[in-house]
């Protein structure tokens, strides 16, 4: 005998009842002064009737504002999830040792780590976000060169800033902001000892650069070479999951 299913109350709907609407990304406060300067120069060019140059400066002003855009991101939550700290292209995945600035003591132990490198072009969002929730245990700035951030040696030669976050379970995830050819300043929005949430804005690199993330042994990345990541949204890895992914570019 079949029994009739009870009617669903409006609060028991199995489907989400809310919607999300697109909105124009805000410009980060760090970039507003640059956008204002570019806009002022553009206005002056029009006032002086510089014609083609003035219209070219309109494009420059729009690009400066777009470079410092700060879109809202929806971050997946999970005790073992590591999310991408940067927008960009996965250009390298390699087995390496931990950076000297984050090695030893109660930081990253010696051993093999999987370094996932995310290259940010001048067209990518440059706000960097925390890959896990936890306490900022270490921030180490290292002056250096400004060679192409897409090169492997950039992780050792370029100006860079290392950051180490310790999760509630004691596991530490390290990542490095690396300056590039045109990047001339690495900014940090947090300090050592601060508690951050996963996906929280933690820094910015001006004008083209790279971010390296160090995954511990026994954890394989859930991204592939050539894949694009979205800071605060793309899952880079699940701690303890050592399943190697394969894919195809098409």
Q: By the 8 A CB rule, do 54 and 42 touch?
A: yes
The C-alpha angle with vertex 72 and arms to 68 and 77, in degrees rounded to 5, equals: 130
Closest CA to 204 of 13, 29, 25: 29
Q: By the 8 A CB rule, do 99 and 156 touch?
A: no
Closest CA to 210 of 147, 168, 165, 164: 147
Catalytic entry in 121, 209, 241, 249: 209
Kindly report the number of other CB atoms within 10 A of residue 131's CB atom.
32
Q: By the 8 A CB rule, do 161 and 176 touch?
A: yes
Q: How far, in Å, CA of 215 to CA of 85, rounded?
A: 13
Q: How far, in Å, CA of 158 to CA of 212, rounded?
A: 13
Residue with tokens 């605060």: 232
How is residue 202 written in tokens?
């933690």
Catalytic, 209? Answer yes
Which positions are catalytic? 209
């Amino acid at each position: 005998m079949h029994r009739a299913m009870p009617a669903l109350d409006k609060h028991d709907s199995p489907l989400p009842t809310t919607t999300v609407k697109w909105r124009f990304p805000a410009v980060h406060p760090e970039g507003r002064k640059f956008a204002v300067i570019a806009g002022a120069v553009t206005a002056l060019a029009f006032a002086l009737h510089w014609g083609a140059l003035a219209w070219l400066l309109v494009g420059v002003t729009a690009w400066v504002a777009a470079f410092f855009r700060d879109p809202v991101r929806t971050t997946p939550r999970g005790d073992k999830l590591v999310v991408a700290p940067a927008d960009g292209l996965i250009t390298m995945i390699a087995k390496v040792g931990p950076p000297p600035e984050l090695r030893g003591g109660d930081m990253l132990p010696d051993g093999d780590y999987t370094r996932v490198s995310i290259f940010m072009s001048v067209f990518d969002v440059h706000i960097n976000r925390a890959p896990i929730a936890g306490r900022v245990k270490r921030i180490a700035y290292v002056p250096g060169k400004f060679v192409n951030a897409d090169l492997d040696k950039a992780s050792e030669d370029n100006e860079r800033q290392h950051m180490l976050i310790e999760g509630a379970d004691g596991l530490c995830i390290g990542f490095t902001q690396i300056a590039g050819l045109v990047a001339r300043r690495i900014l940090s929005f947090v300090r050592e000892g601060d508690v951050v949430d996963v996906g929280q804005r933690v820094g910015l690199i001006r004008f083209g650069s790279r971010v390296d993330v160090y995954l511990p042994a026994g954890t394989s990345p859930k991204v592939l070479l050539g894949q694009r990541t979205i800071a605060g949204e793309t899952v880079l890895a699940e701690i303890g999951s050592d399943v190697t992914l394969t894919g195809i570019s098409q």
